[in-house]
């Protein structure tokens, strides 16, 4: 029987942000790029951050993704104060909880599609065969069943980016952070990637934070946040 306590606990967990950041500030020398930025993202949300070049979008994403440190403020992913993690603890946490998709896919040219997808899983110490099985399942889901053994130079631009998406998903991350993921794709492939994010959210409850100039991609999000001069508008 569900007690009042357990019901309240369930509600609290459900509405607790997957990612939360408060008062994030970042300076590079005398240039203040971020000026006290807040954000909350809940599980299975797709949130896009838009704004002109130089608004601080990518800097903010890198701080939320633990690739950079804020000068002030705090970042929580789940219950973990992510901005305070360092060294091997940080690397392990990032590998497990955050998937990254960038404008350029950064696939390793000497490895096949399956091997590229497996790399974060192998780094995490997951079993080789189980990791390969999951990689193939992901690639199949993303329409790349016939591309397992192809190396990046044997794949189209859209296929390469789908491999990068599979790589971001391999460790079942809490959140995927995408920095201009369609910036290097033609309109047809960009549209396919947009729809892919929606499918992944609907099928797996995946959470996305996207930095983009692409208005079409942003329009598919659950929320659009606007940045200007280092602040949320």
Phi–psi pair at 36, nearest 5 degrees = 90, 65
Q: Provide, rounded to the nearest whole percent, the portion of the chain with pLDDT above 90.
A: 63
- How far apart are the C-alpha atoms of 108 and 179, rounded to whole Å? 19
CATH node for 19-232? 3.40.50.300
pTM for the predicted model, two decimal places: 0.86
**pLDDT, tens digit, for every residue of 174-203?**
999 998 887 777 777 777 778 888 888 888
DSSP state of 77: E
CA distances from 221 to 12, 49, 55, 198 (A): 24, 10, 20, 8
∠212-217-218 over CA atoms, to 5°? 65
∠26-64-56 over CA atoms, to 5°? 45
**pLDDT, tens digit, for every residue of 200-229?**
888 888 999 999 887 777 888 899 999 999
DSSP state of 124: T
**Would you kindly state where each structural domain of the chain is located, as residue ranges?**
19-232
**pLDDT, tens digit, for every residue of 65-93?**
999 999 999 999 999 999 999 999 999 99
């Amino acid at each position: 029987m569900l007690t009042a306590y357990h019901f309240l606990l369930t509600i609290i967990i459900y509405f607790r942000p997957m990612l939360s950041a408060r008062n994030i500030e970042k300076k590079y020398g005398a240039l203040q790029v971020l000026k006290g930025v807040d954000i909350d993202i809940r599980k299975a949300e797709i949130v896009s951050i838009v704004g002109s070049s130089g608004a601080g979008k990518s800097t903010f994403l890198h701080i939320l993704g633990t690739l950079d440190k804020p000068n002030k403020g705090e970042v929580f992913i789940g219950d973990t104060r992510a901005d305070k993690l360092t060294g091997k603890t940080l690397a392990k946490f990032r590998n497990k909880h955050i998937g990254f998709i960038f404008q350029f896919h950064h696939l390793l040219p000497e490895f096949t599609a399956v091997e590229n997808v497996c790399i974060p899983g192998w780094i995490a110490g997951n079993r080789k065969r189980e990791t390969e099985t999951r990689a193939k399942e992901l690639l199949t889901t993303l329409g790349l069943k016939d591309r397992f053994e192809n190396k990046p130079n044997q794949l189209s631009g859209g296929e390469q980016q789908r491999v990068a998406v599979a790589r971001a998903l391999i460790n079942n991350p809490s959140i995927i952070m995408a920095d201009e993921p369609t910036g290097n794709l033609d309109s047809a492939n960009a549209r396919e990637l947009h729809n892919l994010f929606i499918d992944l959210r609907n099928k797996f409850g995946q959470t996305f934070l996207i930095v983009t100039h692409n208005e079409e991609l942003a329009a598919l999000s659950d929320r659009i946040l606007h940045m200007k001069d280092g602040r949320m508008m």
